[in-house]
């Protein structure tokens, strides 16, 4: 009644701005200075410029880290998804592995949230798995993608037969198992493609395996057991990382000795 009226008139005649003052500013609304019209510029919003949140992020943006392989080599802690985006750019794909409703019993009754599992990979030896739970589907999926990017790991691949060109398949027959699920991966010649279930095809492709035979047994519809089995199998097949990183002038006929000499000369 009376006091509120007084307050209203006060506010209207003394229009102050500042944080905490409800002005109904929207996004891109020129909240700055009534009449001055200087709010947040619309220009760079469209380009989605990345503002880093961590020290490593700032280093990456400034160009001080050369490649994602340096991240793994130096065990640099990746705490920003944009760092992965920066290195893998257009090659990065994401796939929803599973979206399942999860019921929670609370004092106010049942609450349904959605748990999303996502895989991201660049099909060139890097893969990440993420999980996020949220009351909205879209938020859960977006959050799971971020989580997957924050947990990217290198996948090692090998050769079949002659070591020519890039690694494209697993180097030997391996089986991974988890629960009732058994997954067997078998080397295949170039051009075979991925012989597998849809889920297996997607995961192996993301991990950078181009050609592979596979067979699976057990309750393969269970996501957790199936992907555990596949990754156990993949990890048994360690070969070496992409040779494109090798520079010709650092290695000659006797690689090991030459390399030790090289390192000792630099006087680390």
Partner 1 sequence: MSDASSASSSSSGGPSAVTPAVHLGFSEPIEHAEDVETIAHNSPIWSDWDGGKIGGRPSWLNPRDVPVGPLRCRACAKRNALASKSADSMVASDANADGGESSSADQKVASETRDVNAHDGSRTPATTESATIMRFLCQTYCPADAESNPRNEAAFHRTIYVFACPSIECSTSPSPDSVLVLRGQLSKENDFYPAITKDRENDFDSWEKHKSASWDANLCEVCGCKAGGRCPKQNLWFCCREHQKEHLKCCRTKNGSANNEEDDRNVKLLPSLYAESELVVEDEPSVKKTTNDEEERLRQEMDKVAMFSTSEKDEKMKDGVGKEEEELDENLEQTDLNDMTGAAGTGTSDAATLEFYSRIGTGDGGVKDQCLRYCRWHEAEGECDDKNAFGSDVNADVDVSTGGGGPLWVSSRDIPSKNDISSCQHCGAPRKFELQLMPQMLSYLFGDRSQDKTRDAVASEEVRAALLAASNIAEQAKWEGREGELPSDFKKRHDGAVQKVRNALLVGGSSAKQGGDGMDWGVIAVYTCTASCGDGIVNDGTKMGAYREEFAWRQQPLGV
Strands (E) located in the chain? 93-106, 109-121, 126-134, 152-154, 174-178, 181-186, 194-195, 212-217
Q: Give the bridge partners for 178, in sequence order.
A: 181
Task: Name the residue nearer to partner 1 (CB basis): 33 or 193.
Answer: 33
CB of 264: closest distance to partner 1 in angstroms? 7
Does residue 257 bind partner 1 (CB under 8 A)?
yes
Of 201-220, binders to partner 1 (CB under 8 A) are: 202-203, 219
Maximum pairwise Cα distance, the chain: 94
CB 13 → partner 1: shortest distance, Å? Answer: 8
From 147, 188, 209, 216, residue interacting with partner 1 (rule: CB under 8 A): 147
Stretch 20-59: interaction string toward partner 1, x if CB under 8 A: xxxxxxxxxx-xxxxxx-xxxx---x--xxxxxxxxx-xx
| Dist CA 104 CA 171 (whole Å) | 45
C-alpha to C-alpha distances, 216 to 68, 77, 186, 199, 207, nearest whole angstrom: 33, 35, 12, 11, 18
**Helices 198-207 & 223-235 angle (0-180, nearest 10):** 40
163 near partner 1, judged by CB under 8 A: no
Decide: is 130 part of the binding site for partner 1 (CB under 8 A). Answer: yes
* 131 touches partner 1 by CB under 8 A: yes
8 Å CB contact between 102 and 115: yes
Site string for partner 1, 91-120 (x = CB under 8 A): ----xxxxxxxx-xxxxxxxxxxxxxx-x-
- Under the binding rule (CB under 8 A), the answer on residue 169 touching partner 1 is no
Q: Does 6 bind partner 1 (CB under 8 A)?
A: no
Q: Binding partner 1 by CB under 8 A: which of 123, 146, 169, 214?
A: 146
Q: Which is nearer to partner 1, 193 or 250 (CB)?
A: 250
The number of residues that bind partner 1 (CB under 8 A) is 141
Q: How far apart are CA 108 and CA 105, in angstroms?
A: 8
DSSP sequence for 219-257: -TT-HHHHHHHHHHHHHTT-----GGG--GGG--SSHHH
Does position 124 interact with partner 1 (CB under 8 A)? The reply is: no
Q: Give the distance from CA 137 to its chain's centroid.
A: 19
In the bound complex, what is the minimum distance in angstroms from residue 243's beta carbon to partner 1? 8
- Whichever of 151 and 192 has its CB closer to partner 1, that residue is 151
């Amino acid at each position: 009644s009376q006091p509120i009226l007084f307050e209203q008139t006060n506010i209207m005649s003394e229009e102050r701005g500042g944080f905490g003052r409800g002005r109904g500013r929207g996004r891109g609304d020129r909240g700055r200075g009534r009449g001055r019209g200087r709010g947040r510029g619309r220009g760079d919003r469209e380009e989605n410029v990345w503002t880093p949140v961590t020290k490593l992020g700032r280093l990456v943006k400034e160009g001080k880290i050369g490649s994602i392989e340096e991240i793994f080599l130096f065990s640099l802690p990746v705490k920003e998804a944009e760092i992965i985006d920066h290195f893998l750019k257009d090659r990065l794909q994401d796939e929803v592995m599973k979206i399942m409703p999860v019921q929670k019993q609370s004092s106010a009754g049942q609450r349904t949230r959605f748990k999303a599992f996502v895989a991201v990979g660049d099909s060139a030896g890097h893969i990440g798995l993420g999980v996020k739970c949220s009351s909205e589907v879209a938020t859960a999926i977006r959050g799971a993608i971020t989580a997957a990017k924050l947990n990217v790991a290198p996948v090692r691949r090998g050769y079949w037969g002659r070591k020519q060109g890039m690694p494209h398949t697993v180097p030997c027959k391996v089986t991974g198992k988890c629960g009732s699920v058994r997954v067997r991966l078998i080397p295949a010649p170039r051009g075979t493609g991925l012989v597998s279930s849809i889920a297996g095809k997607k995961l192996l492709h993301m991990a950078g395996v181009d050609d592979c035979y596979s067979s699976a047994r057990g309750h393969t519809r269970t996501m957790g057991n199936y992907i555990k089995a596949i990754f156990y199998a993949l990890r048994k097949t360690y070969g070496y990382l992409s040779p494109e990183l090798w520079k010709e002038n650092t290695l000659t006929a006797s690689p090991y000795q030459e390399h030790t000499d090289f390192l000792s000369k630099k006087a680390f």
